Amino acid sequence: MKRIALLSQRLANQIAAGEVVERPASVVKELLENSVDAGAARIDVEIEQGGSKLIRIRDDGQGINKEDLALALSRHATSKIADLDDLENIASLGFRGEALASISSVSRLLLASRSVDATDSGGWQVEAAGQEMTPTLAPAAHPQGTTVEVRDLFFNTPARKKFLRTENTEFGRIDEVVKRLALSRFELAFSLRHNQRTVHQLQAAQSIQEKQRRIGLVCGPAFLEHAVYIDIEASGLRLWGWVCLPTFSRSQPDLQYFYVNGRVIRDKLVSHAVKQAYRDVLFHGRHPAFVLYLELQPALVDVNVHPTKHEVRFRDQRLVHDFLFRSLHKALADVRPADHMETPAAAVESSIASPDGAGSPVQQVPLGLRLDESTGELYAPPDVPSSFAGSGSAAGRGYAGANIATTGADRGGWRQAATPGAGSLADQSALYQRLSEDAEVPPLGYALAQLHGVYILAQNQHGLIVVDMHAAHERITYEHMKSASDSQSIKAQPLLVPISIAVSQAEAECAEAQANELATLGFEIARVADESVIVRQVPSILARADIEQLVRDVLADVREHGRSERISAYRDELLSTMACHGSVRANRQLSVAEMNALLRDMERTERSGQCNHGRPTWVYQSMSDLDKLFLRGQ
């Protein structure tokens, strides 16, 4: 029999390193977080050979006291929390006190620092190389702040080292870590170098334009061209950031950044809510792109559920899920034709050019929108300047959706967006005055003709509109059917032969506890034993679905989110199919009156800018765009 012995400190750290230090990118993440926690204003990252040779991170934060330097390398040593109260109100990124200890147990680590309250002139440093933690202190020439140098990662754990991928792959992950952090701390300057080559050089960003410039540098210019800026507050939660219109979707979920109180997270509840919000505007299998920030009281979210702190746990999951879903759903629904036009609001946006004059397509303005919980409407609070309150109500046109600023898709001169204009804000508000007096022509204008039985040509005050009539009609039919079926409650249908289903005890309990919620969805489900339920009634539109599978899915949803979107998801799918069959087919001749009716319907209908598959339903070219095409006035 083997005897029990305490692990050596080094081995214990190496085991902990297994969780925290998976690869070079995880080292970079931990070190960057430490620099942020130290209040740095600028962080410089230097990488060699994908991080396996060298990771050097230097900051200008508050530094570490000479007396604490060695302690910083021991396990469970932290300056960030002292008691349980602190743990429940964490404002720092780190708090577990194990990163430096773990990293130094699997690399050659040098920690040099000079603290803000240092009285001597230089700094101090300690070194450790995968050994017992008895580092020696030596003077070092170091300005205020901290440098951590990690060399030869995994030199003493060859098994780990074997798992490393190519230099480029490992560097790609480091790059991603830096980008994620750069998007969460606009006020910090970052630089990233790999093998002596500068990869990122990001200035501190304060104004919204500077922030958007950073977004463009990190997510690419196309992201910004299709993004809508939102800022919504309700029930103590705030959601702000940039969401891309469904016309810009990705085959990979690679442009999805979500932050909770400044901490980047990947969370099932969050992805579920986002997916739901995009559900019927995104083509199957496509992924939306967004950079979003959720802010709430630290006590309402538990960040101590995972060693890498990627997951969080919300105290009130349902509240958060609903808030995210409703805010995003509404924001996407509210992008209407009027938002994309060269309306006064759009003109104001476009006058706020990027500060560097680099011709970046950034045109959004911060709108500080609020969500009215009783109506689910977004509105601009009174302190938002009226010229920013959108072309909608302010211009007396009654398009509620217009209070979201957007840039649009520019397809080789054709656009769904504001045309970048010139002139000062004062000029623009004069224009705004003038146009609002003379708002006779609706945003999508009046029909002129039908082109090859496929497109409607229309003119508005500013130029030419081309509408894909089938796509537009399909969308409208679908939205109408949805609201018609929303206004009646779900019809239920009793089953001729009730179905009994074996479920887990937790599911059976849920069915019992949520009987009322399930009844509003059209289900009658009774618990008949510890692990068995019987289904007597289902929503009629689903009577022909696989009931057993459906009930399992619904119970799983209700348990996880407190309710099930599945019924409406399924219903929407059905309606969408029906809408497609019921819509005008290409090659049908429409009268001018019919075409105008369709245009008016589009203006009134939520999400009419995209068809049910996320493709645009209309494009627009202003007179000045056309003039440019013909080189008029040049």
Give the binding site for ligand ADP (CB under 6 A).
30, 34-35, 38, 59, 61, 63-64, 72, 77-80, 94-101, 146
Binds 250: which of ligand ADP, Mg ion, none (CB < 5-8 Å by kind) = none
Cα dihedral sign for 162, 30, 108, 5? negative
Q: Which does 25 bind (CB under 5 to 8 A by kind): ligand ADP, Mg ion, none?
A: none
Which lies closer to Mg ion via its Cβ, residue 133 or residue 409? 133
**Looking at the DSSP assignment, which residues form a beta bridge with residue 313?**
302
Q: Closer CB to Mg ion, residue 95 or residue 124?
A: 95
What does the alpha-carbon distance between residue 545 and residue 592 come to, in Å, rounded to a whole number?
A: 42
Looking at the Cβ atoms of 298 and 307, the one nearer to Mg ion is 307
Output 153 or 348, the one with its CB closest to Mg ion: 153
Output 50 or 94, the one with its CB closest to ligand ADP.
94
Instruction: Choose from Mg ion, ligand ADP, none: what does 526 bind? Cβ within 5-8 Å by kind.
Output: none
**Least CB distance to ligand ADP at residue 184 (A):** 16
Tell which residue, 611, 614, 622, 620, has the closest CA to residue 586.
Answer: 611
Total binding residues toward Mg ion, as defined by CB under 5 A: 3
- Give whichever of 38 and 503 is closer to ligand ADP, judged by the CB atom: 38
Q: Please tell me whether residue 146 binds Mg ion under the rule CB under 5 A.
A: no
In degrees, to the nearest 5, what angle opens at C-alpha 154 toward C-alphas 150 and 159?
170
Orientation of helix 566-582 relative to helix 469-487, angle to 10°: 140
The 10 Å Cβ neighbour count of residue 397 is 18
Name the E strands within 405-460.
410-411, 414-415, 446-451, 455-459
Name the binder of 63 from Mg ion, ligand ADP, none, CB < 5-8 A by kind: ligand ADP
The binder of 391, among ligand ADP, Mg ion, none, by C-beta within 5 to 8 A per type, is: none
* CB 48 to ligand ADP: min, Å: 20
All residues at 6 or more sequence positions from 237 whose CB lies less than 8 Å from its CB, including other chains:
294, 295, 296, 319, 320, 323
Residue with smaller CB distance to ligand ADP, 47 or 458: 47
Q: For Mg ion, which stretch binds (CB under 5 A), given 86-94, 331-339, 349-357, 539-547? A: 86-94
What does the radius of gyration of the chain's CA atoms come to, in whole angstroms?
29
Q: CA nearest 489: which of 541, 524, 525?
A: 541
* Cα 354 to Cα 213: distance, rounded to the nearest angstrom: 8
What is the Cα–Cα distance from 52 to 34, expressed in whole angstroms? 20
| Consecutive H or E run containing 189 | strand 189-194
The answer to whether the Cα torsion of 194, 196, 197, 203 is positive or negative is positive
Report what 227 binds from ligand ADP, Mg ion, none; CB cut-off 5-8 Å by kind: none
Q: Which residue has the tokens 């970052």?
A: 190
38 binds, among Mg ion, ligand ADP, none (CB under 5 to 8 A by kind): ligand ADP
What is the smallest separation between the CB atom of 68 and Mg ion, expressed in angstroms? Answer: 14
- Interface region with Mg ion, contact rule CB under 5 A, candidates 98-106, 397-405, 575-583, 612-620: 98-106
Considering beta carbons, is residue 19 or 531 the nearer one to Mg ion? 19
Query: Which of ligand ADP, Mg ion, none is residue 182 near (CB under 5 to 8 Å by kind)?
Result: none
Q: Which residues contact 19 (CB under 8 A, 6 or more apart)?
A: 102, 307, 308
Contact mark string toward Mg ion, 350..389, x via CB under 5 A: ----------------------------------------
Q: Which is nearer to Mg ion, 306 or 434 (CB)?
A: 306
In the bound state with ligand ADP, the residue whose beta carbon lies nearer, of 149 and 468, is: 149
Q: Could you tell me which of 564, 546, 503 has the C-alpha nearest to residue 528?
A: 503
Given the complex with ligand ADP, which of 99 and 444 has the nearer CB atom?
Answer: 99
Select the span of 87-95, 124-132, 280-288, 342-350 touching Mg ion (CB under 5 A).
Answer: 87-95
CB of 78 to ligand ADP, least distance (A): 3
Residue 324 contacts which entry, Mg ion, ligand ADP, none (Cβ below 5-8 A, type-dependent): none
HSE value, Cβ hemisphere, 13 Å, CA-based, for 414: 10
In angstroms, what is the minimal distance from the CB of 116 to ligand ADP?
Answer: 10
Q: Dihedral through CA 550, CA 556, CA 560, CA 566, nearest 10?
A: -10
Element holding 58 (H helix, E strand): strand 54-59
Contact positions with Mg ion (CB under 5 A) in 23-82: 34
Which of Mg ion, ligand ADP, none has residue 61 at its interface (CB below 5 to 8 Å by kind)?
Answer: ligand ADP
Closest CB to Mg ion: residue number: 94
What is the smallest separation between the CB atom of 294 and ligand ADP, expressed in angstroms?
23
Cite the beta strand spans of 195-276 per DSSP E: 197-202, 227-234, 237-244, 256-260, 263-264
Q: Please state the closest distance from residue 460 (CB atom) to ligand ADP, in A.
A: 57
CB 172 within 8 A of CB 162: no
Q: Toward Mg ion, which CB reaches closer, 21 or 274?
A: 21
Interatomic CA distance for residues 113 and 138, integer angstroms: 11
Dihedral class, residue 191 (left if φ above 0, else alpha if ψ from -120 to 50, else beta): beta
CA distances, 149 to each of 49, 75, 109, 174 (Å) = 14, 18, 6, 15
Q: Find the residue with minimal CB distance to ligand ADP.
A: 94
Q: Choose the one of Mg ion, ligand ADP, none that binds residue 80, judging by a C-beta under 5 to 8 angstroms depending on kind.
A: ligand ADP
Pick one of ligand ADP, Mg ion, none as the site partner of residue 264 (Cβ within 5 to 8 A by kind): none
Task: Output the CA–CA distances (angstroms, integers) from residue 589 to 76, 451, 531, 594, in the order listed.
Answer: 75, 10, 60, 10
Separation between Cα atoms, residue 216 and residue 361, nearest integer Å:
9
Partner in contact with 522, chosen from ligand ADP, Mg ion, none, beta carbon below 5 to 8 Å by kind? none
Toward Mg ion, which CB reaches closer, 99 or 521? 99
Is residue 99 at the binding interface for Mg ion, with CB under 5 A as the rule?
Answer: yes
610 phi and psi angles, rounded to 5 deg: -130, 150
- Nearer to ligand ADP among residue 16 and residue 389 (C-beta): 16
Closest distance to ligand ADP from the beta carbon of 79 (Å): 3
94 binds Mg ion (CB under 5 A): yes
CB of 258 to ligand ADP, least distance (A): 22
CA distance 419 to 438: 20
Partner from Mg ion, ligand ADP, none binding residue 95, C-beta < 5-8 Å depending on class? ligand ADP
What number of helices (H) and strands (E) belong to the chain?
21, 26
CB of 306 to Mg ion, least distance (A): 14
As given in the structure block, the two tokens for residue 100 are: 């430096």
Gap between the Cα atoms of 604 and 624, Å rounded: 27
What is the contact surface with Mg ion in residues (CB under 5 A)? 34, 94, 99
